[in-house]
Chains A and B, each alone.
Chain A
Amino acid sequence: MDWLQSLGRTGLILFERLGRGHLFLLRVFGGMSDTLLRPSLLIAQMYSIGVLSFTIIAISGLNVGMVLGLQMYNTLVDFGAEDSLGQVVALSLVRELGPVVAALLFAGRAGSALTAEIGLMKATEQLSGMEMMAVDPIKRVVAPRFLAGMLSMPLLAAIFSAVGILGGFFVGVGLLGVDSGAFWSQMQANVDLREDIVNGVIKSFVFGFVATWIAVYEGYDTVPTTEGVSRSTTRTVVHSAFAILALDFVLTALMFGGI
C-alpha cells in the first residue's frame, strides 16, 4: 500500500502547488494596476526580458528558417512544387515554429533569469526588506515582470517568424534558385491574416502568459537557499517546456480543427 500512499501524497502536493500558484496569480492581477500607473517599471522589465532576448531569438529564427527552407525545398522539388516554398516556410513559422520555439527559448533565457532573480531576492531578504518598508513586492517586483513577459513574448515570436522567413528566402531563393516572385506571391496568397497570423499571435500570447507565470511563481515560492533557487530555476524551464508543448497541441486542435 506504500505506493498508493506516496501517489496520494504526490497528488496532494501537486494540487496544493497548483492552488498556491493560482492564488498567487490573482494577487499579481491585483498588482497590475500599479504597474500600469508606473510605466517606468514596465519599460525597464520589457528591456531586460524582451530586448535582451532579441539576439538569441533572431539567431535561432534565422537558423530555423534556413533549415526549413533547405528541407522543404528538397521535398517540394520532387513534386515540382518548389515555388510553394515561401508558403510552406511562412505557414510553418507563423502557425507553429515561431510561437513554440520562441516560447521555449524565452523560457530558457528570460524565464530562468526571472526565477533566479526573484528567488535570489527572496534568499537575500530583499523581498522581506521591501515588505518591511511598506512596499508590496508583488506590485513592485512581480507584476511588472509578469506584464513585461506577457507583452514581450508575442513580439519575440513575430521577430522569430520574420527572421525565419528571411532565412528561408536566403536559402530558397538565394542559394537554391527558387523564383523570388513565386516565393513571395505564394506566401501572400496563402497566408491568411485571421486564420494564420492572428492564431499564431494568440498562441504566443498564451505561451508568454504561462511561461512568465511559471517563472515568477517559481521565483517567489522558492526555498530561500542556494539549492532551492537552483531547483526552482530548473523547474521553470522544465515545467514551461511541458506546458508550452501541451498547450500547443490543445490550441492547434482548437484553432486548426481536424479533431
Chain B
Amino acid sequence: MTASDRPELLVKIRDLHFRFGARVIFDGADIDIQRGKITTIMGPSGTGKTTLLRMIGGQLKPDSGSVLVDGLEVPKLKTDQLFALRKHMGMMFQTGALFTGLTIFENVAYPLREHTRLPEAMIRDLVLIKLQAVGLRGARNLMPAELSGGMARRVALARAVALDPMMIMYDEPFTGQDPITVGVIMQLIRHLNQSLGITSIIVSHDVTEVSAISDYIYMISEGKVVDHGPPAELKKSRSDWVQQFLQALPDGPVPFQYPAPDYRADLLEDGG
C-alpha cells in the first residue's frame, strides 16, 4: 500500500458493542483516529477505555461492530496476521509492564531481538538512541525495580517505539505521577508525534494534560460517545455530562450518591 493509498483514518471503529458478563461496556460507539494526530479517549474510570485499546490491539474481540486498523479488520485477523500488525503498534501500559527480570537495556532491546536479526552492535546503538530520547540512557544497567513509576513509564515508551511503530497507544500515561513527570511524559508524547509522525491514542481522565496536547478528544460514558471534537470546541459543549467532567463538578448527570433507597427510611429501618 503506497502512502497515497492509505486511508486518512488509521483506526475506524463502527457500531462497537462489547459486554463483560452482564455489564455493557460499549453500546454502539463510533470512533475515528486520524493518522499522524494525537487523539484522546476520555471518560470516567471503568468506562472501558483500556478495553478499547485492547480491542484495537486485538487482545479482546468485540461482540459486534467493526474495528479497522490501517484498513485491516482486527477481530477477523488470524494470529499470524495480528502479530504482523502488532509489530507496527506500540503500547505503553499504565504500570509500564516492564520485564522485571531484565535490565532496562534488555527491556528496550527485547522487541528488536525478537523481531529483527540485527547485529548486536546495531541493537546497542538503537537501544541507546531510544533511551536517550526518553532521557534514561544513563539508567540502562538498572533493573525495573530500581526505577520510579515515571521512569518505568519512560522506559516502556522507549520499548514501545523500539520497532518504529506507526501508532502508539498510551494507557493512562499521567495517572499517579508528580507534576514534573507529567510534564516530561507530555513533552515526550508530543515530540514523538511531531518528529516521527507517530499516530497517538491516549486513554486518560486527566483533563488539563490531555487538553494541552491532544488534537482531538472523544468523551465516552456508559458505552457511548457522548461528544467529540478538538479540545477548544469540547469546552463549549452543550452536554451537561461533558461540562461536569471537564469542570470536575461533584454532582450533575453523574450523581454524587450511589443509587440507594430513601435515606430517611433507611435510617429508620436500621434503628428499628
Binding site for B on A (CB under 8 A): 124-126, 128-129, 131-136
Between-chain CB contacts (< 8 Å), 19 pairs: A124-B100, A125-B97, A126-B100, A128-B93, A129-B98, A129-B99, A129-B156, A131-B57, A132-B59, A132-B90, A132-B91, A133-B86, A133-B111, A133-B114, A134-B84, A134-B86, A134-B114, A134-B115, A135-B110
A43 CB to closest chain B CB, in angstroms? 15
B95 at interface (Cβ–Cβ under 8 A)? yes
Q: What B residues does A132 contact at CB under 8 A?
A: 57, 59, 86, 89-91
Closest to B59 in A: A131
B14 at interface (Cβ–Cβ under 8 A)? no
- 3 tightest A-B CB contacts, nearest first: A129-B97, A125-B97, A134-B86
B87 at interface (Cβ–Cβ under 8 A)? yes
Instruction: State which of B79, B83, B91, B114 has its C-beta within 8 Å of the C-beta of A129.
Output: B91
Give the complex CA separation of A126 and B89 in angstroms. 16
Give the complex CA separation of A131 and B93 in angstroms. 12
Q: What A residues does B83 contact at CB under 8 A?
A: 134, 136
Closest to B87 in A: A134
Closest to A123 in B: B95
B24 CB to closest chain A CB, in angstroms? 22
- 8 Å CB contacts to A: which residues of B21-65? 57, 59
- 8 Å CB contacts to A: which residues of B63-83? 79, 83
B212 CB to closest chain A CB, in angstroms? 27
Residue of B94, B97, B159 with highest tally of chain A CB at under 10 A: B97
Give the complex CA separation of A129 and B97 in angstroms. 6
Give the complex CA separation of A161 and B86 in angstroms. 49
Closest to A48 in B: B101
Closest to B82 in A: A134
- A-B contact sample (15 more), CB < 8 A, given A126-B97, A134-B111, A136-B79: A125-B95, A126-B98, A126-B100, A128-B59, A128-B93, A129-B99, A131-B57, A132-B89, A132-B90, A133-B86, A133-B110, A133-B111, A134-B86, A134-B87, A135-B110
Task: Tell me the dominant secondary structure on chain B's binding face.
Answer: mixed
Total chain B interface residues with beta-carbon distance under 8 A: 23
Taking a contact as CB atoms under 8 Å apart, the answer to whether B84 and A125 are in contact is no
Known A-B contacts A134-B86, A136-B83; the reply to A128 vs B114 at CB < 8 A is no
Residue of A132, A135, A136 with highest tally of chain B CB at under 10 A: A132
B50 CB to closest chain A CB, in angstroms? 10
- 8 Å CB contacts to A: which residues of B226-242? none
Give the complex CA separation of A186 and B100 in angstroms. 53
A114 CB to closest chain B CB, in angstroms? 14
Give the complex CA separation of A128 and B96 in angstroms. 11
Give the complex CA separation of A135 and B115 in angstroms. 9
Q: What A residues does B89 contact at CB under 8 A?
A: 132
Give the complex CA separation of A131 and B57 in angstroms. 9
Interface string of B98-113 (1 = CB under 8 A from A): 1110000000001100
Closest to A135 in B: B114
A28 CB to closest chain B CB, in angstroms? 15
B1 CB to closest chain A CB, in angstroms? 19
Give the complex CA separation of A135 and B93 in angstroms. 16
Taking a contact as CB atoms under 8 Å apart, the answer to whether B97 and A124 are in contact is yes
A45 CB to closest chain B CB, in angstroms? 12
Give the complex CA separation of A134 and B77 in angstroms. 13
Q: What B residues does A133 contact at CB under 8 A?
A: 86, 110-111, 114, 159
Q: What A residues does B57 contact at CB under 8 A?
A: 131-132
Q: What A residues does B90 contact at CB under 8 A?
A: 132
Q: What A residues does B84 contact at CB under 8 A?
A: 134
Give the complex CA separation of A23 and B91 in angstroms. 28
B144 CB to closest chain A CB, in angstroms? 10
B52 CB to closest chain A CB, in angstroms? 14
Give the complex CA separation of A134 and B114 in angstroms. 9
Q: What B residues does A136 contact at CB under 8 A?
A: 79, 83
Closest to B113 in A: A135
Taking a contact as CB atoms under 8 Å apart, the answer to whether A128 and B97 are in contact is yes
Q: What A residues does B114 contact at CB under 8 A?
A: 133-135
B100 CB to closest chain A CB, in angstroms? 7
Give the complex CA separation of A133 and B115 in angstroms. 9
Give the complex CA separation of A129 and B57 in angstroms. 11
Give the complex CA separation of A124 and B98 in angstroms. 8
Give the complex CA separation of A136 and B79 in angstroms. 10
Taking a contact as CB atoms under 8 Å apart, the answer to whether A126 and B110 are in contact is no
Closest to B110 in A: A133
Give the complex CA separation of A132 and B98 in angstroms. 12
